[in-house]
Structures are given as structure tokens and as C-alpha cells.
Structure 1
Amino acid sequence: MKFTDYKYEHMDIEALQEQLKAICSKLQNAASYAEFKNAFIELNDVNKYINTNQTLVDIRHTVDTRDEYYTQENDFLNEMLPVLKEDIVNCNKAVMASTFVSELRKEVPETYFLQREMEEKSFDPIIIPEMQEENKLASKYQAIIASAQIEFDGETYTLAALEVKTNDKDRDTRKRAMQAYWGWYDEHAQEIGEVYDQLVQVRTRMAKKLGYENYIELGYYRMMRFDYNKEDVENYRKQVLEDVVPLDNELYARQQKRLGYDTLHAWDEKFEFTSGNPTPKYDRAELVKRALKMYQELDPKTGEFFEFMTERELLDLDSKPGKAAGGYCTFIPNYQSPFIFANFNQTSHDAEVLTHEAGHAFQVYSSKDIFPIDCVWPTYESCEIHSMSMEFFTYPWMKSFFEEDVDKYYFNHLSGAVKFLPYGVLVDHFQHEVYENPEMSIEERLATWRKLEKQYLPQKNYEGIEILEKGGWWMRQLHIFMDPFYYIDYTLAQVCALQFWARIQKKDEKAFEDYKHICKIGGTLPFRKIVKEAGLKVPFESGCLKDTVQLVREWFENADDSQF
């Protein structure tokens, strides 16, 4: 069976509500644990059914945002899923209130119960109207971005496609491409800023209705942050400023010297070498073919997984008009299928999709049989360990993608990993400022971003791009709109992935076994415990960042970039 044969079924919401009410009654009135367990299994099956149809809509809508049918279905689900959530939460409450819950705890992962605690704190039927509005606004942002058609050098580009030109070997082309790219954002800044303002206001209303001072606490509960809090994150951000930013400043200075420029402009940052950035030497079809061979050689399990993905055509990788921006991996429960969505653009990003998103997909493929469905995925910061670490575990095969540019790729990829950390915490810090001060105007939000940007990314030189000098970069960051507070997760996972990288450097044969282990356990443990299961240090721990960065620094001290 191929993905095109996966059947979407328009859901009868009233029938599902009746079914969930009946399950709730069975859970409440069960006379034995066997009856209770059967009702719990029935609830899991309904969750899988809803999740399957929701995911199919998400995929088919983002693959072509112009498809009228799936646009309508997306709008329908934006309205109805919050309504269904009330009935699902009522069932979950019945589970937790049952006299049989102690027996269930012996069979079901601890994270299931932690999720229910977070759910209790983050949902009440009184916020359903706000949830519906939030969904509509998030879809509106995606549609605005997907609609971009930018004229450049006689051709029309989407935002994703134009990014290729911002990495061009010719400096003037990069500059003009970046000005065109951000010129589009400048033209749409008011519209995008207003959508975000509405999202901030609706999320703040949610928080107030639930009794919170602002959205931050609610945001953490919605993100299912089981074992760390705002104070942990604040301390971690300080460590990034102290330990990572100085190394990144050195790398940017080294890059400027390597390029022979007097000044490193914004359009130069992604251009690492005078000979040009490393790019895959093959088209999408050949890259996928080589990725299959890579995963077959890496491990029998990864080979089996990628064969499944290619045979069922579960990768949509080409950039095309109407396609939503970005990339993601998702999971279709009733078909036990991961799905990878991306926008290939003939840059090293394409290779990273086939490793990063495939890392997510391999994890969920490995944990697909976990019961209940709620525990197949871990929380986001743990999910990203699988994806970012896979980028490093596949290093030995990158030659087949980049050929003679492979050493250039290693240098570029590792420097990109550490250069990303301050940006990742900047996105997080910005959101804390926004939700602590929801009354800020669009202009004040721009100024807040730029102020923080000067701390975390002091090298930024936006001369010639007014919208960026004002502080407009955040407008392109989809997570800020779609998934508030989902971003620090990438940096926490990157620190874990860099520890795997260090173990690979030391020829630690147990490293990949530990990696497969945490893929298999999926979402059955919270973040800190998953990190420990992987044989790694928790990034919040004192000295973890300093130690990790030191190993990276030593690698760069021994790396000869003059050859590039």
C-alpha cells in the first residue's frame, strides 16, 4: 500500500462524541479491571482514528495549500477538534478517577499519567472558542507564507526556493536575493504582525480564563514539560550566553577571515567558503536512493525502516507552488506510518532532511507499537535528540551525497550546530518577553527581538535590510506562530546530539546501541530520564554545556579550513 491509498474519512463529530460519552460511562462504571481495561483500549482506538484522519488532513493540506477539499477539511478540524477534546478529556478524567487506575499504572508508561496531569492544568471547555480561533490564526499564517511569489532575476520563487539564492557563491546575488526575500516580509510585516498579535491575545485570554497570570505557565503545561521549568530554562540560557556565544563569535571571525571580507553581512553568514557551500551532487531521486543504501548499511533496523518509507512513498520532498513552508515528520497511527515533508532546495539542507527528519521517522517507526498511542512520541525536546543525533551517526555516508565536498560539509555542519544554539535560545527568550508583556505593539515586539538578538547574535550586520534592522527576523520562524515555546527544545537536543558526536569521535561502539534504545522507548519516559538512558548528561546540569563546547572547540582548533 502506498500513501496515496491511505484513506481519509471525514469524521462524524456527533457520532464520535456519542462514542466517547459511552466509553466514559464504561470507564466510570466498570465492575472489574478487565472491563475497565477494555474501555481504555476502546478509548485508545478512538484516539488513533481521530489522530489518523487529522494527520492525513495536515499532510495533504500542507502539501498543497491550494487544494480546496483539504483546505475545507482543515478548517473543519480547526473548529471541531477543540470540541472533541472536551469529550476526550472527560474520558481521561474518568481513567484517572477510577479505582482501577493503580492497576493500570503497572501496565502503562508513567508519561501517560504525567500527560493527564498536564492536561488537567491546560484544558477546560471554557477555552474551546479560543482554541478554535488559535487554530484558524495559525492556518492563516501558514497560508500567508505559502502564498509568497517573489520575482527575482526574471523568475518567480517561493520563499523556500529563493533561499537557495541567498546561499549563492556570488556575493551580489546573495545580497539581492536576501533583499528580495526580506522585502517580501517587509511588505507583509503589518499583516504578519497583526496575525501574531491576535495569537498572543487569544493565548493570553486562554491563560486568564484558566487562572494563570499570563500564557507562560499554560504554555509549559501545553508543551508537556514534565521535569523542567522556567527557572531551569533561564539558567540554561545564561550558560549559552557564557559558554557558546564566545565560541560562535570566534567561528564568525574565522569565517570572515576565510572569505577575505572586511565585514560579514547578513547575506554572508550562510556562505562559509570562497569555493562555495557544500551542496549535494545529485537530484532528489538519487539522494533518496543513496539514503536507502546508507540506512541499509548503518543498521538492519534503519534499513528496514527506510525501505518501508520508500516503498510506501512516505516522503514528499520537492518544493513547489502552494506547498507550505518548512519541513516536518509526522505519524499516521492506523497505518503505522511515519511521513516526511520537506522543501528540497539544492543545498546541504536536503541532506539534513534525509537525516534529521529520518531520525524522527526512525524513532516513531521503532516505537510504533507502544500502548497507548499517547506514549509513542516523546515530548519535543526528547524527539529532537533522535533527529539531530541521526545527522551525526550518518556522517560516514555523507561522502556519497557530497563527494569531494564532504570535509567541507563536516566543517559546515558542526559549525552550524553550535552557531544554532544562541539563535534557538533567542527564539525562546523572545517568546517569554512577548507573553510576559502581551500588550506590546508590533513595533515593540520588533524592538524586543532586536535587543535580544544583539545579546545572543552580536555578529549580525543588517545594513541594507531595513526590516531586519528593525527586528523582523522572528516573522519567518514558524514555531513562534504555530507552537509557542517549541524551540528551546531543539537546543537542548542539540547539546545531547553533540555528546553523541563526541562519543562517535571516541569510537564508542555503544553509542548507536544507546541511540536505538531511546528510539525504541519512544515517549515512555520524561526528558531527563531519556537522556540518562542514552548515557548522556542532562543539558541543565552545571558544566554540561561548558564540557560539550570545549570538545567542539578542540575539534575546530585541529581543523584546517584553509583548504576550502
Structure 2
Amino acid sequence: MTDQRQHETDLSAFPHYQPRRFVLEGADLTDKAVVVDLHKALLSRELRSGEDLEAWIGDLSELTAAVDEAGSILYVRMTCQTDDAERANRYKAFMTHVVPAVRPLGHALNAKYLAAREQFGAAGPRYEVYDRTTRMQVRLFREANVPLQTDLSLLSQEYQTLCGAMTVTFDGKERTLPQMARYQHETDRDVRQRAWQATTDRRLQDKDALEALFDRMLALRARVAANADFPSFREYSFAERNRFDYTPQDCLAYHDAVEAVVVPLWRDIQQRRRERMGLESLRPWDTSVDPEGRGPLKPFAEPSELINGCAEVFARTDPQLGRQFAMMRDAGLLDLASRKGKAPGGYATTLAEARRPFIFM
């Protein structure tokens, strides 16, 4: 398996989208003292006019982007190689020292902003979304939740490390679980079953550890919600994620619609699949293979072929989209290959100060 560290992009090397005017260039934003002092400087600044407030907002935005980017880089590096102790420790240090120190200061800055906005008058639609989000952040903050949120972040890291270590030996090679998915498209049913069983058995090896981890997270989440005066973590999460335009009840109504309309259709499709494959019963390893017995499609063999193929598709679809994707490819802002030690799942994050995206799959 390849070592990601041999050809990894230095995400901290990208230039800022605009020159800093508040945070010093070269400031170590993984250093608790540095970050705390910057927040305190903004907190102590006197605001005497709407113009002062505008300048203050700009400096706050710059600081937030700089600290967010520092944290994002640590998170990306950790998830790209969860078995690297140095990466894990640096991310853990940021989450246990910097973030807990910043949360109360961030709350105080939000409160300062809202008070100044009240003093100097509304800013119109330009700040409407920002004001709404800031009011929600102030409403949600509880000092008692700061250590609980730190614990939840570390448990999430533990989950990623557990899953990143999952591999199986199949056909004479060590393979990650995502790499095993391709065998579900093979026409040989025995191969599909053996691959499915090997993958499932490997997951079950860690079932007790994962169950214990999820139980700890469940209890912590319930405490976070209760501390913030929410009846459940679901309601708290909707508020925390600024889901102002739909509710948990809307989601439940959607679930009911899927159950009533989509599930019967899906069952019909699976029944037709079983009949076309000539099987008495459909098993989990029968749901991805071509029901006509045709071999699996192999549009690419290496991640670079996938990336370059997508670049061509995007360029033909829209030249600007093609240029943006090519920039990400050339800048090393894509991590699409499966390997041992890589965290499960996928995400897109932003290098907030460089204003560049990073995609992890």
C-alpha cells in the first residue's frame, strides 16, 4: 500500500486570498497563547462607531479564517493517515488546548458584536444571515459543554483511527475495506460472497470497541443538549448547524414518504433482479453485480485516471468548472485513493484563508 506522506501537498503553503492586517504573518495559530491573545485583543478593543464595528468585523473574520484554516490542515493531515502518531498528537493537542480556550472567547466576541449592532443600528440585509447565525451561537453556548465537546471530538478521532486500521487479506494481498467493494461487481458469486464475508468479519472484530465508543458519544451528546436546554441532541444539532429552513418534523415526513413510495418500488426492483439472476433468494453479495451477468465496468485503474477523466468531463460541461477542478488537481487538493490508515467516509473542507477547497474520499 502506498504511503501518502511521500507526495502530500503542504496545505499551509497556499497564499492568503488577501493580505493580513490583524494577524501577524507567521503567527503560530496552533499555539494556545497566541490564539488567546489575538481573541482578547479584539475583545478589549473599544468600538465608538459603526465604522469601528465594520473594521472590527473584518479583523474578527480574518482571525476566524486563520484559526479555522490551521485546524482544518491538522484535521486533513490526521484523517489522511490516522496511524501516524505525530499527526494524531498534533490534532489532539489543538482540540484539547486551543479549541477549548477559544470557545468562551468566541462566545464573548459574539456577544460583543450583537451589543454593538444594537448600539449602532441594523446593517440591513448584508448582515442578515450573519446576525441570525451569531444569535444562535450565543443562544447555544454553555461553559459546561466546552469539555464535553472536546471529548466528542476525540471520540470521533478514535472512531476514524479504528476504521482506518481495518484491512483484510484477500486474493493474497492486504486490502482496505473500500478496496474490497469492487469484488461485489464480479460475476463469480463465490468471489462476491467470500469478499463480503471477509469484509463483514473484519468489521465485527471491532464491534465491541465501536459499540462502547458510540455509547460514550450518545451519553455525551445527551448531556450537551440538556445543558443547552434542548429536549434531545437532534433538536440541538439542527440549531447548531443553523438549519433554519426545515425542521426535524420535515425530515420525519420525508422518511414516511420514502417508506410509502420508494421502499415498495425498491422491493420490486430487487425482486426483478432476483428473477433475472435465477436465484431462489437474493443475498447481500448479489445486489451490486450486473444482473445480466456482464463483467464489471472498469473506467479507471488508478486514482489519477479518475481525476483526469473527471477534469475532461467538467471542462466539456463548463470551461470555468473545468478550470476550477484542474486547479484542485494541480494543487494537490484531492485525496481520493483508498489506503491503510486513511479515515473512513468522505468530506469537503475549506482552507478558509486561502479560500481553496479540499476533497477527501
Q: Which runs of 5+ in 1 are unaligned?
A: 343-564
**Cα distance per residue 1:209-263 (max 9 Å; x no partner):** 2223332221221222112112212211111111211221122122222322221
Structure-1 residue corresponding to 2:10: 4
Structure-1 residue corresponding to 2:241: 223
- Structure 1 position 97 matched with structure 2 position 109: no
157, 168, 172: which one aligns with 2:175: 157
| In structure 2, C-alpha distance between the alignment counterparts of 1:101 and 1:189, rounded to whole Å | 56
Structure-2 residue corresponding to 1:404: none
Structure-2 residue corresponding to 1:46: 63
Structure-2 residue corresponding to 1:213: 231
After TM superposition, give the deviation of residue 129 of structure 1 in Å. 1.1
What is the DSSP-based 3-state SS (H/G/I as helix, E as strand, rest coil) of the residue aligned with 1:125? coil
Structure-1 residue corresponding to 2:294: 275
Counterparts of 1:230-379 in structure 2, within 5 Å, are: 230-273=248-291, 274-342=293-361
**Cα distance per residue 1:419-449 (max 9 Å; x no partner):** xxxxxxxxxxxxxxxxxxxxxxxxxxxxxxx
**Cα distance per residue 1:264-305 (max 9 Å; x no partner):** 111111223311343324532222222222222111220221
| In structure 2, C-alpha distance between the alignment counterparts of 1:222 and 1:101, rounded to whole Å | 27
What is the DSSP-based 3-state SS (H/G/I as helix, E as strand, rest coil) of the residue aligned with 1:163? helix
Structure-2 residue corresponding to 1:384: none
- Structure 1 position 114 matched with structure 2 position 120: no
41, 55, 73: which one aligns with 1:56: 73
What is the DSSP-based 3-state SS (H/G/I as helix, E as strand, rest coil) of the residue aligned with 2:349? strand
Structure-2 residue corresponding to 1:541: none
Letter in 2 for 1:46: L
Q: Which runs of 5+ in 2 are unaligned?
A: 1-7, 14-25
193, 203, 213: which one aligns with 1:185: 203
| In structure 2, C-alpha distance between the alignment counterparts of 1:300 and 1:102, rounded to whole Å | 44
What is the DSSP-based 3-state SS (H/G/I as helix, E as strand, rest coil) of the residue aligned with 2:348? strand
- Structure 1 position 166 matched with structure 2 position 172: no
Q: 2:49, 2:120 within 8 Å by CA — same for their partners in 1? A: no
After TM superposition, give the deviation of residue 63 of structure 1 in Å. 1.2
Letter in 1 for 2:343: A
Between 11-20 and 231-240, the greater mean CA deviation after superposition: 11-20
1:77–1:294 CA distance, 2 compared to 1 (3 A): same
After TM superposition, give the deviation of residue 327 of structure 1 in Å. 2.1
1:163–1:100 CA distance, 2 compared to 1 (3 A): farther
What is the DSSP-based 3-state SS (H/G/I as helix, E as strand, rest coil) of the residue aligned with 2:350? strand
Which TM-score applies when normalising by structure 2? 0.87
| In structure 2, C-alpha distance between the alignment counterparts of 1:62 and 1:152, rounded to whole Å | 25
Structure-1 residue corresponding to 2:91: 74
What is the DSSP-based 3-state SS (H/G/I as helix, E as strand, rest coil) of the residue aligned with 1:335? coil
1:309–1:261 CA distance, 2 compared to 1 (3 A): same
Structure-2 residue corresponding to 1:65: 82
What is the DSSP-based 3-state SS (H/G/I as helix, E as strand, rest coil) of the residue aligned with 2:244? coil
| In structure 1, C-alpha distance between the alignment counterparts of 2:131 and 2:11, rounded to whole Å | 35
| In structure 1, C-alpha distance between the alignment counterparts of 2:300 and 2:73, rounded to whole Å | 32
| In structure 1, C-alpha distance between the alignment counterparts of 2:135 and 2:186, rounded to whole Å | 50
| In structure 2, C-alpha distance between the alignment counterparts of 1:93 and 1:248, rounded to whole Å | 50
Structure-2 residue corresponding to 1:536: none
Q: 1:121, 1:221 within 8 Å by CA — same for their partners in 2? A: no
Count of residue pairs the alignment pairs up: 338
What is the DSSP-based 3-state SS (H/G/I as helix, E as strand, rest coil) of the residue aligned with 1:156? strand
1:103–1:210 CA distance, 2 compared to 1 (3 A): closer
What is the DSSP-based 3-state SS (H/G/I as helix, E as strand, rest coil) of the residue aligned with 2:126? coil
| In structure 2, C-alpha distance between the alignment counterparts of 1:290 and 1:163, rounded to whole Å | 21
Of structures 1 and 2, the one scoring higher in RCO (CA 8 A, sep 6+) is 2
| In structure 1, C-alpha distance between the alignment counterparts of 2:205 and 2:312, rounded to whole Å | 45
After TM superposition, give the deviation of residue 196 of structure 1 in Å. 0.2
What is the DSSP-based 3-state SS (H/G/I as helix, E as strand, rest coil) of the residue aligned with 1:164? helix
Q: 1:114, 1:226 within 8 Å by CA — same for their partners in 2? A: no
What is the DSSP-based 3-state SS (H/G/I as helix, E as strand, rest coil) of the residue aligned with 2:336? strand
What is the DSSP-based 3-state SS (H/G/I as helix, E as strand, rest coil) of the residue aligned with 2:144? helix
| In structure 1, C-alpha distance between the alignment counterparts of 2:140 and 2:157, rounded to whole Å | 22
| In structure 1, C-alpha distance between the alignment counterparts of 2:120 and 2:276, rounded to whole Å | 62
Which TM-score applies when normalising by structure 1? 0.57
After TM superposition, give the deviation of residue 101 of structure 1 in Å. 6.3
